[in-house]
């Protein structure tokens, strides 16, 4: 379902949709329940798909239902330490954001490009802070 959904609708997520040029287009969308975001309710109501799922996942049959989602009994706690912007002025931050946005990797969803962007971003930040 995911594969065909990406082909039909394009890559999408809570942050937006990637268009044909690879640019992320932000969506103005209210997400009522992040636990059910991305669930294709038409496919969930498809008898052939449900039969296949129920056949190979008998332990989950009771948990399935139209417009319901399995919520785990325990969610992991992720503690995020407080973060303070390393820049001392708004001008430094603006210069940093502008420099990043000019890089071709900035609009890519490829992990290697994102890794490269992080590395280059750290270099740019170091240069800005050393001025």
- Of 21-35, 49-63, 94-108, highest mean pLDDT: 94-108
> Is the pLDDT at 92 greater than 90, yes or no?
yes
User: For all residues of the chain together, what is the average pLDDT?
Assistant: 79
Number of helices followed by number of strands (H, E) in the chain: 5, 3
Long-range contacts formed by 127-131: CB under 8 A, 24+ apart: 128/87, 128/92, 128/95, 128/96, 129/86, 129/87, 129/92
Q: In the predicted model, is pLDDT for residue 102 greater than 90? A: yes
At 112-131, the pLDDT tens digits run 999 999 999 999 999 999 98
Residue scoring higher pLDDT (71 or 100): 100
Which carries the bigger pLDDT value, residue 11 or residue 77? 77
pLDDT, tens only, 60-87: 766 555 445 556 677 788 888 888 889 9
In this prediction, residue 32 carries a pLDDT of 76
Q: Which residue has the tokens 């708004």?
A: 90
């Amino acid at each position: 379902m995911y594969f065909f959904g990406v082909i039909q609708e394009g890559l999408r997520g809570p942050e937006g949709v990637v268009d044909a040029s690879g640019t992320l287009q932000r969506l103005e969308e209210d997400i009522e329940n992040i636990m059910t975001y991305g669930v294709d309710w038409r496919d969930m109501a498809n008898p052939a798909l449900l039969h296949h799922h129920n056949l190979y996942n008998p332990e989950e049959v009771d948990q399935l239902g139209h417009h319901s989602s399995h919520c785990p009994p325990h969610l992991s706690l992720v503690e995020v330490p407080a973060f303070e912007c390393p820049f001392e002025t708004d001008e430094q931050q603006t210069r940093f954001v502008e420099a990043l946005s000019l890089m071709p990797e900035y609009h890519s969803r490829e992990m290697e490009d994102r890794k490269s962007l992080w590395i280059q971003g750290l270099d740019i930040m170091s240069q800005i802070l050393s001025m």
